[in-house]
A and B are shown apart, each in its own frame.
Chain A
Amino acid sequence: MSGRAVEATVFIALFALVTVIGFVASRWRRADNLEHLDEWGLGGRNFGPWITWFLIGGDLYTAYTFVAVPALMFGAGAAGFFAVPYTIVVYPIVFLVLIRLWSVSHVHRFVTPADFVRARFGSPTLALLIAVTGIVATMPYIALQLVGMQAVLTAMGVSGHLPLIIAFAILAAYTYSAGLRAPALIAFVKDILIYIVIIAAVIYIPSKVGGWDAIFSAADAKFAKSPNPNDGTVLPGVGQWQYATLALGSALALFLYPHSVTGVLASRDRKTIKRNMAALPAYSFILGLLALLGFMAIAAGVKPTATGDTITAIDGTVIGPKTDGNTVVPLLFEQVFPHWFAGVAFAAVAIGALVPAAIMSIAAANLWTRNIYKEFLNKDATPAQEARSSKLASLVVKFGALLAILALDPQFSIDLQLIGGVLILQTLPAVGIGLITRWFHRGALMAGWAVGMLAGLWMLWTVPQVVVTANGVKVIREHFGGSAFSLEKLGLDTKTTIYVGFIALAVNLLVAVLATLALRARGVPDGIDATLPEAYLVEADDAVKSPAFTPAVIAD
């Protein structure tokens, strides 16, 4: 067999294995009745620490992360390492909040973050805003998983869209039948493969390219030669606050994404969550090593695949051929690993796309069902109708993501995902702070959300995409070119940039505080808080099913 054939055989064998696992999952820890959102959408709310670790790890550290973070390191250097502080700060920040989310959702049987907001603030409208924000932010994220998978297929020399379509059709089929149990079970295979591949890469590749010294020297040499003053193996002075605010802003946003909440609510008890907050950073360590693969690719002389297009500045200057940076890591694997192991590595990334895509589509479908379908279209929906609605919605969501990648420029999804991170952050006052305090007025939360959205979109719109050439800075695109907002635009005398989402959130909070004070002063009625004060502290073995606490209590 030729090398390529060995690679493809290993890849297809592993892919077939997870396909079987995906379909078998519907019988795993089988419930009497899958026709209920607690079962299809949350896996029975009964996952222990190990399953949760694999599930949330598989959910948060996605295929797109695996290709995009090293690609960023390859292109820009130190700035791409923000993924490490991002995933360091996230767990200490959310530790005390997520256990409250779990408890209150356990008592009141919430399935989505918008369910919580509806009960907490007595406002279906605010819940609708939260749900729509969640769906809009999640859709492009699903599409990006396809970008990650495509990068691997390109490196394997596979052309055409058919393999992508087949992979997604299979994914859609077993997610439809097994619900959250499918990605939970596949996550075991995905994460074990990823750990093996990354550890092998970090031990093996440095010895092939001359050690860590050679790796960082090669990166230094590349960035010294580039005309861009902002790349390098340490951060440029003006980029330090962008680095810190992007890490913090991304951390605050992570558990506002509906798919992260799905992973949390599927766990069995508070202890499971607490243990995972301590154990999930193991993935951050792997992510840090993975990021360094970007520099190893520089040292190994990897050249990203050309897309066939040409980059042209808006003033007509031809910059050069356009390349797909996401192919850097797959090409590195192809170049240094023996073919059979490259096949394992490619399968790890491709399977790494399936797990988050499945959980994200389930989370988006649950938002649709609980906060739009049941709230506005069919108020008397039975649990079976809810489950059916979610299953169908999960198919629509995945089909939409596939269409977005095949029919539109993938850049469109990348732009939308950038915007999505800023948008989802605007739900922090209602969801994240709402779990801690009920101080904000529901009207003020809506006002803050709206102003934060507009501010965020406006700032993103003003950020151009530029390349620095030997002949100076050239603008390639005028809008949505990045998330670093220059404070100069606000009239400040500085070159410092800050993450757009961070500024938008600050504006949002300011408006929410002022509007709360104004609405309270005018005596505008606040909604009823249907959640019980001690519900936030409930443990799994507390008897919470006494008649007083049926969902009837939380209906308004």
Chain B
Amino acid sequence: MADTRTITVTVNGKVYQREVETRLTLVDFLRHELELTGTHVGCEHGVCGACTVLIGGASTRACLMLAVQCDGESISTVEGLATGEQLNPLQQAFQDNHGLQCGFCTPGMLMTLTEFLREHPAPTEIEVRKALSGNLCRCTGYQSIVAAALDAAQRIREGA
């Protein structure tokens, strides 16, 4: 008999209650239980950052969390960034600066930057690169992502 728990989790403001196997990782829970497939699996050992979500506003590798550990927690994923059809300033900055190519690392980048820009509204390029060092990208060479982050920071400061 599999070991299970019933958990209640809030994701992007919506409350979910599910019974899950205790070994189910948070990223698999989001993707397959809740069918929020925007959070991606890239390595399952905590290096690539494709699975980055915010738990209580703190950026976290969802592949290194068990779903059962998130009982009672409030989680933000990429699906919660836009408002209806309207991309948020960070997302729009990504599009405007060609900050994505295959799109696979992108949700993780967005969540990492959401926390970072909240805490560092006027970052330097070096600070942005350091902040991104926990997220791997193989397509862009990071330059356009850095540009998008700096552009987003400016837009947010200007009240976009």
A binds B: no
Interface residues of A (CB under 8 A from B): none
